Amino acid sequence: MDAKELIARRVALELHNRTLVNLGIGLPTLVARYVPPGIRVAFQSENGILGFDTRPPEGMENPDLTDAGGSPISALPGAWSFDSATSFALIRGGHLDMTVLGGLQVDAAGRLANWMVPGRMVAGMGGAMDLVVGARRVVVAMQHAAKGEPKIVPELTLPPTAARRITLVVTDLAVIEPTDEGLLLRERAPGVTVDQIVAATGAQMLIRGTVPEMPIAPAPEGAPG
């Protein structure tokens, strides 16, 4: 499996039954493919849909049915579409059990930067700030490094999304939990050593005892892996 699939399948194990979960743009939407058996989750997107599913088969896309990034999605029976005011009332009102967001950087204090690279044109922050502040749990799904540079850093060099500490970081190398004491290395990816993770991480981590290999959710029936 590639790095994005590995991350999505690990994040899927953070889903709990009968919860409301927001999936951010890009990699986080892949999590919907790997919901563990027996788990019922209502996925929400800030552009105004609750109860969506994975991308539909090719040729079945509906241009009016997309996630916040404009990618096609499908709707489950009972899905609900609504305006932005209702969508952000859910987010800002503390009704989301969890959000899964992409990341550009996470620092040693567990703060996230994920909405802007200085000097590049951006349409705006979107819902990222509201999601980090409003969701009960904030899981960041991102690759561990970009262009050879660590994305887990001592201090953010990109504009922060919010001051709040996130809940968990899942990368293609590791699962890291920001705590009061610092970044705790909880799990390592299959075939990856602790030394490799340390070498690829810009911030110091807490390493306690033996670090177990990360479990991953099963692939859907009929899919490889």
151 CB-near residues (< 8 Å, 6+ apart): 103, 104, 105, 106, 142, 143, 144, 145, 171, 202
Catalytic residue among 5, 14, 46, 187: 46
67 CB-near residues (< 8 Å, 6+ apart): 23, 25, 29, 45, 47, 49, 52, 73
5 a catalytic residue: no
Q: What angle do CA 194, 113, 134 make, to 5 degrees?
A: 105
- Active-site positions read 46
